[in-house]
Amino acid sequence: MYWNNEYGGGTQPADNAVGAPRPLDELPKYARDTTPEHPWPVHLLSRKWHDVIERWPTVWIEGQIVEINARRATSVYITLRDSFEDVSISVNGFGAFAQMARGFKQGDRVVVHGKADLWVKQTRLSLRGDDIRKVGVGDLKEQIDELRRKLKGEGLFDESNKVPLPEFPKNIGLVCAPQARAEGDVITNVMLRWPTVDFTVCHVHVQGPQCPPEVVDAIARLDADPNVDVIIVARGGGSFEDLIGFSDERVVRATAACVTPIVSAIGHEDDWTLIDLAADMRASTPTDAAKRVVPDVREQQRLIANAIGTMRMRIGAMVDNETRLVEGYANRPSLTRPQTMLDPYERQIDDAVRTMRIGLTRIVDDEQLRVEKLEATLRALSPQSTLDRGYAVLQTADGHVVDDASAVAVGDDITVTLRRGAIVAKATRIVEA
């Protein structure tokens, strides 16, 4: 007896032997009815899934090509990775789609149109593509600009968050691709400028889906290393799409959160990524980063030589000034002829004595003149002057001056004082006034 295998696509012998297919009417109709005793065969489940997926609508999806196999002209197989999450999907296509896909390469960001498809033989789900287009740089830039505005609004790019680079680092952490030219540029130029520095190198993917998580992990490890004084994230030049990993939000946030000073050196001078805004310093190239993180030993030697020359010149000038000052002191008359120190005081004393003599002489002269005036006055008013003019002074016997005739009686003794000498007489007659 034979039964039509509705889901297997053919006829199978109806044999109840162990391992032989069971008739369709003996299988559970729905998945919920299956049991350990009555399971579905794998092909039946795969076919049922296929029929369900066939009813799904077409869709446009966007991602980055991480693997592409277009060796055959009539078919192409692509592994497409999400732009932000670690999720991938297989995309395949034939004919016209294969021809369109031949112009793409690993790392390209694309949008693909297609329909979900399940390969029954391996129950493998994929997207059967019918159109593929490269994501324009303008679209990517718009996404990055939107992310930039978002992170800027959170303050991740503020200057207040930047920290200065150490002037003389002892150990430099370097994040770069293995055996990359950027690694050689940084190490070579650093060693030429400052040979005593050490390096702690973390090799990572610098493009593709593995780039962001590996860069984030490398930054975290170097930031946690107490020996690392400064970190350089370096990558050589490339297309805008090649550098897109360094504009990943995870990388930008890890850079902004890094406590150790960090320098971004991604691409060439005209290239830009969001890590440049979050880093403490942006270098135009890996070589420029090497020049920024360490001083030039030759320049430092010149600075030291110039500083030593300046110090010597200033010390010599100070010594010369002090020497001239000491010589000036030694040649002063006060030291060569100490007595000259007394000359001004001697002149002051002489002047004071002369002034004092003049003043005293003037005082004596004035007082002498005053005395003479007083003497003349006294002389003019003295009784002797009156006597000298021929007058006489009449006194009673007891010495009282007689100025009234009634004070004398006839017979009283009176004394008449003249200019020279005196006369004692007796009053003989009194004449009333």
Q: Is the pLDDT of residue 4 over 60?
A: no
Query: How far, CA to CA in Å, does 4 sit from each of 8, 14, 119, 120?
Result: 9, 10, 22, 19
Q: What average pLDDT score do residues 397-412 get?
A: 83
Q: Is the pLDDT of residue 189 over 90?
A: yes
User: Which residue do the tokens 């006489």 mark?
Assistant: 392
**pLDDT tens, residue by residue, 199-253:** 999 999 998 888 999 999 999 999 999 999 999 999 988 777 788 889 999 999 9
**pLDDT tens, residue by residue, 367-379:** 999 999 998 888 7
Short-list 144, 168, 147, 167, CA closest to 156: 147
**pLDDT tens, residue by residue, 315-343:** 999 999 999 998 888 887 777 777 777 88
Domain extents in the chain: 56-135, 140-295, 385-427
Question: What is the reported pLDDT for 244?
Answer: 85
Question: What is the reported pLDDT for 125?
Answer: 93
Continuous segment of H or E residues that includes residue 264: strand 262-266
Say if CB 202 and CB 196 are below 8 A apart: no
The DSSP call for residue 86 is S
Pick among 3.40.190.10, 1.10.3720.10, 3.40.50.261, 3.30.450.40: CATH of 140-295: 3.40.50.261
Q: What average pLDDT score do residues 11-29 get?
A: 59
Angle of helix 286-293 relative to helix 181-193, nearest 10 degrees?
A: 30
16 — pLDDT class (breaks 50, 70, 90): very low
Question: What is the reported pLDDT for 366?
Answer: 93
Query: In this structure, is the dihedral angle defined by the CA atoms of residues 404, 407, 412 and 416, taken in order, positive or negative?
Result: negative
Q: Is the pLDDT of residue 255 over 60?
A: yes
Greater model confidence, 412 or 7: 412
Q: Is the pLDDT of residue 139 over 70?
A: no
Q: Residue 282 forms beta bridges with which residues?
A: 264
Q: Residue 117 forms beta bridges with which residues?
A: 126
Question: What is the reported pLDDT for 424?
Answer: 87
**Range name among 132-141, 258-267, 300-309 with the lowest pLDDT average:** 132-141
145 — pLDDT class (breaks 50, 70, 90): confident
Short-list 56, 63, 101, CA closest to 82: 63
Structure tokens at 274: 């969001």
Q: What average pLDDT score do residues 63-84 get?
A: 87
Say if CB 251 and CB 231 are below 8 A apart: no
Q: Is the pLDDT of residue 8 over 60?
A: no
Question: What does the CA dihedral 75, 79, 82, 87 come to, rounded to 10 degrees?
Answer: 140
**pLDDT tens, residue by residue, 410-429:** 888 888 888 788 888 888 88
SS3 62: strand
Compute the distance between CA of residue 268 and CA of residue 35 in angstroms, rounded to an integer. 64
Compute the distance between CA of residue 116 and CA of residue 55 in angstroms, rounded to an integer. 9
Q: Is the pLDDT of residue 277 over 90?
A: yes
Q: Which residues of 316-337 are buried (b: 16+ CB within 10 A; e: fewer)?
A: eeeeeeeeeeeeeeeeeeeeee
Mean pLDDT of the chain: 86
Short-list 83, 79, 82, CA closest to 92: 79
Q: What average pLDDT score do residues 148-164 get?
A: 93
Structure tokens at 29: 């109709």
Say if CB 205 and CB 217 are below 8 A apart: no
pTM: 0.51
**Range name among 4-13, 293-302, 328-337 with the lowest pLDDT average:** 4-13
Question: What is the reported pLDDT for 378?
Answer: 83
Q: Is the pLDDT of residue 19 over 70?
A: no
Structure tokens at 428: 């003989």
Compute the distance between CA of residue 81 and CA of residue 85 in angstroms, rounded to an integer. 8
Say if CB 38 and CB 47 are below 8 A apart: no
381: left (phi over 0), alpha (psi -120 to 50) or beta: alpha
CATH of domain 56-135: 2.40.50.140
